[in-house]
Amino acid sequence: MLDVKQIKQDFPVLQQKVNGKPIAYLDSAASAQIPRQVVEAMSQYYATSHANVHRGVHTLGERATSAYEEAREKVARFVNAPVPQNIVFTRGTTEAINLVAYAYGLHNLKEGDGIVVTLLEHHSNLVPWQQIAKLTKAKLYMVELTAEGHLDREQYRSFLKQGNIKIVAVSYASNVLGTIVPVKDLIAEAHAVGAVVIVDAAQSAPHLRIDVQDLDADFLAVSGHKMLGPTGIGFLYGKGKLLDVMEPFQLGGSMIGLVDYYESNWAEVPARFEAGTPNIVGAVGLAAAIGYLTDLGMDNVRKHEEDLLAYAWDRLDQVEGIQMYGPREPRTGLIAFNIDDTHPHDVSTVLDAEGVAVRAGHHCAQPLHKWLRVAATNRASFYIYNDEQDIDRLVTSLQKVKELFGYVTR
Ligand code: PMP
């Protein structure tokens, strides 16, 4: 059981009022809030240990390098990577996926090969593959959803049977429907035909216990800012045997072995994929965020979200005119919805006036919205600092929306 009252104390941003009302922050799927322990770790780093990493031999340089490499070790333990060298720090999920697309996909695909993606993908796990398909003349296959909103496993298998599928790019959890995808099974099926799988874990790492070895994922991408960390930091997990033979993605300082007048060779992994000065303080913050989540226990985090989701689902279900999207289970703690014919931007504006923060739009998942036959949705997402009161506030505020905009459908 999480002590939400106690947890809320760690988030100064949640102590304030917005528009004269206490804040009910229901937009953690976009970016989670940051506990003071993370901010303190970052300011402590700046106060005591800041310098560039992997270069100077002076004391501060060594401290900074230790802090950065300790962060890598923490990340590796968090996802159960065999060794820290499997972890490449990136700006976030988007950069991690682009790294795989350009450093692996571009070099390993050719005309006649196939890439499989799903309709649940965020643009960041779709657009890079559209582009790589275009550049390599490989074919892109999109797995659609069953009428109930689950991934169409039959269609997935039929794509794999086409032959020459080299890459499968799949979300572990949808950022719109919350649907948790059976990635372990999808990976096993992909491996049976020799495909390499990249898992977008942006919406699962903050909520579920992730074990890359158990999943047997080839690559897995995560963003720090959705799991209590700062923006501008995330990571790519990659199997050693794949990373070791990959060409670099970006070129410049820190990623080289030897540079001569006209040619250069590359550093070992992971330095090969971390060109330029990295986001050192971001890595420190991410490590502190992981420490915070680990202290709570990922199983407790998941249980808390499941309880909140159950409560929210039942309460929202009673709101007249609401349409909630996606199957009820299995899902993370988020609900996308529309209410009557009211535009999501109008809904979120009214909610904001009540101090309730939700997201409105297509959430970078336009193909999925096309399938849902709506241009946009509202999305309420829950995390460790939310409680039933936040959900009650959402439901009460939705009544205000209906009072204001009810005329549209009346
Ligand atoms: N994938 C999913 C499922 C996401 O929800 C997001 C963030 N909305 C991303 C990828 C992209 O993450 P970032 O913007 O941190 O790179």
Ligand 1 centroid, distance to 365 Cα (angstroms): 10
* 163 compared with 180, residue with greater pLDDT: 180
Query: Mean pLDDT across the chain, nearest whole number?
Result: 96
Q: Is the CB of 200 under 6 A from ligand 1?
A: yes
User: Would you state the pLDDT for residue 407?
Assistant: 57
**DSSP assignment, residue 268?**
P
Closest C-alpha to ligand 1, atom 6? 202
User: Would you state the pLDDT for residue 1?
Assistant: 87
Instruction: Determine the residue type at 155.
Output: Q
Closest C-alpha to ligand 1, atom 14? 94
- Quick one: how many helices (H) and strands (E) in the chain? 15, 17
d(C-alpha 62, C-alpha 146), whole Å? 54
Atom of ligand 1 nearest to the CA of 96: 16
d(C-alpha 368, C-alpha 374), whole Å? 9
Instruction: Determine the residue type at 342.
Output: T
**DSSP assignment, residue 209?**
-
Ligand 1 centroid, distance to 94 Cα (angstroms): 6
What kind and span of H or E run contains 73? helix 59-78
ipTM of predicted assembly, 2 dp: 0.99
Classified as helix, coil or strand, 156 is helix
409 pLDDT more than 50: no
pLDDT-above-70 percentage for the chain: 99
410 pLDDT more than 80: no
183 pLDDT more than 50: yes
* Catalytic residue list: 364
333 pLDDT more than 80: yes
Ligand 1 centroid, distance to 93 Cα (angstroms): 6
Q: Is the CB of 122 under 6 A from ligand 1?
A: yes
| Mean pLDDT of all residues in 240-266 | 96
What kind and span of H or E run contains 337? strand 334-339
Crossing angle of the two packed helices 388-405 and 298-317, in degrees rounded to 10: 30
| Domains of the chain, earliest start first | 4-28+297-404 (3.90.1150.10), 49-294 (3.40.640.10)
Atom of ligand 1 nearest to the CA of 95: 16
384 pLDDT more than 90: yes
Closest C-alpha to ligand 1, atom 12? 93
Task: Express each pLDDT in 4-46 by its tens digit.
Answer: 999 999 999 999 999 999 999 999 999 999 999 999 999 999 9
* End-to-end Cα separation, the chain, in angstroms: 43
The predicted model scores a pTM of 0.97
**Is the previous residue joined to 330 through a cis bond, with omega within 30 degrees of 0?**
yes
364 pLDDT more than 90: yes
CA atoms within 13 A on the CB side of 191: 12
User: Would you state the pLDDT for residue 31?
Assistant: 98
Strands 114-118 and 139-143: what pairing? parallel
d(C-alpha 246, C-alpha 242), whole Å? 6
Ligand 1 centroid, distance to 56 Cα (angstroms): 34
Q: Is the CB of 28 under 6 A from ligand 1?
A: no
